[in-house]
Copies of this chain bind each other. A is one copy, B any other.
Amino acid sequence: MRILILGGDGYLGWPTAMNLSAAGHEVGVADNYFRRNICRETNAEPLFEAPNLHDRIKIWKKKSGHEVKSFIGDLTQWSFVEEVFKSFSPEAIIHYAEQPSAPYSMLNRRAASLTISNNLMVTANVIFATREFCPEAHIVKLGTMGEYGTPNIDIEEGWLDVEHNGRAHKFLYPRQGGSLYHTTKIMDTDLMWFYVRMWKLRVTDLMQGPVYGLETDENKGEPRLYQFFNYDEIFGTVLNRFIVQAVCGFPLTVFGKGGQTRGFLNIKDTLNCVRLSIENPADKGELRIFNQFTETFSIKELAEKVQRVGNDLNLDVEINHMENPRIEAEEHYYNPKHTGLIELGLEPNFLTDDVLAEMVETVMGFRDRIDKSRIIMNIKWF
């Protein structure tokens, strides 16, 4: 299948490009290095330097024999979008081309505006280009479990049947995000769902929880093919951050009570979920929604896991319940459903102590590159 990955240089974009090309698909990636640029601006550099996209593609070709086509440009600009869609003629589009950081979206007015305009205008352009150049193509859009927030009832998989005053209606599950970033993802969904109804697009929305992990089947043994691995407060996801903190002797930064519970998954499972969705497309006029995670942990449980495994590896891991810079429930009900991807064939890679130990050991090899000043950046929600 001809698959266009928007945001193909990112934490998920690049591993997805390798994974789908290894599976025999024809892959194109589009990116404008937006993520690299804002990492540099905020001094949130990742643990490893990554070759640029052209070089990554060459290294991957040499390792695997597979070609990936690249398009460098800004997807908020229609002229670029038009050029990419016309020349590549995608049969499927994976839309990762968003400002992906919750803390960055709360940093200041400029970062907030950029998050809104970038995320919304790219999503709109993807919709318009699909309608104009490839109306049968399947759009796989990355959502986030964070769109649901932490309601006091079960989180269903995308939709909610409501009975009210003796009548019934099925709604898109009502959403309430915990950051501006999450709110823009809700707005993306509003937009996508509207055009699915009007123009009979095929869309899969993957409501993903926080991802962790470094090695994939494709990058194993070739660190130049690693995705970005951030451990800073802005771009690092929580487990990746905790692992780096454990390795460099920084007390694990648990925000408040740590009862915040989320659905997590290994980056290997992200790749499997995306590939399963691509290979089993949504119907025409369908917005198909999957909750994409494999198990839930509270932040406190996660910290304790890292502490136990770290201490077994002779690290001296402490946990610090710091003042919560976010506005969020620190203890709450959390019961999200997630059967759709399992039914499609997902076989989860759970977070066992062995898996965690392997991640810790990999990061220990890069201990000298850790800059502790990146761990706390004091971005407040209020």
Residues of B within 8 A of A152 (CB): 167-169
A171 touches which one: B128, B151, B177 (CB < 8 A)? B151
Q: Whole-angstrom distance between the alpha carbons of A193 and B177 in the complex?
A: 10
Residues of B within 8 A of A280 (CB): none
Is there a chain B Cβ closer than 8 Å to A113's Cβ? yes
Is there a chain B Cβ closer than 8 Å to A174's Cβ? yes
Residues of B within 8 A of A180 (CB): 194
Residues of B within 8 A of A165 (CB): 153-154
B333 touches A167 (CB 8 A): yes
Is there a chain B Cβ closer than 8 Å to A109's Cβ? yes
Find the residue from A167, A174, A186 having the highest chain B CB count within 10 A: A174
Task: Give the shortest distance, in Å, between A108 (CB) and chain B (any CB).
Answer: 9
Is there a chain B Cβ closer than 8 Å to A172's Cβ? yes
Is there a chain B Cβ closer than 8 Å to A302's Cβ? no
B382 touches A199 (CB 8 A): yes
A191 touches B187 (CB 8 A): yes
Q: Whole-angstrom distance between the alpha carbons of A4 and B373 in the complex?
A: 44
A109 touches B128 (CB 8 A): yes
Q: Whole-angstrom distance between the alpha carbons of A162 and B171 in the complex?
A: 11
Is there a chain B Cβ closer than 8 Å to A375's Cβ? no
Is there a chain B Cβ closer than 8 Å to A342's Cβ? no
Residues of B within 8 A of A327 (CB): 197-198
Is there a chain B Cβ closer than 8 Å to A44's Cβ? no
A164 touches which one: B160, B167, B169, B176 (CB < 8 A)? B160
Binds B, one of A8-16, A88-96, A115-123: A115-123
A171 touches B174 (CB 8 A): yes
Is there a chain B Cβ closer than 8 Å to A50's Cβ? no
Sample of 13 A–B contacts (CB below 8 Å): A109-B132, A113-B121, A117-B117, A117-B120, A153-B162, A153-B167, A154-B165, A154-B167, A162-B162, A176-B194, A177-B190, A186-B190, A187-B187
Question: 6 extra interchain contacts, Cβ-Cβ under 8 A, other than A187-B190, A190-B190?
Answer: A78-B109, A112-B124, A120-B120, A151-B169, A172-B176, A186-B190
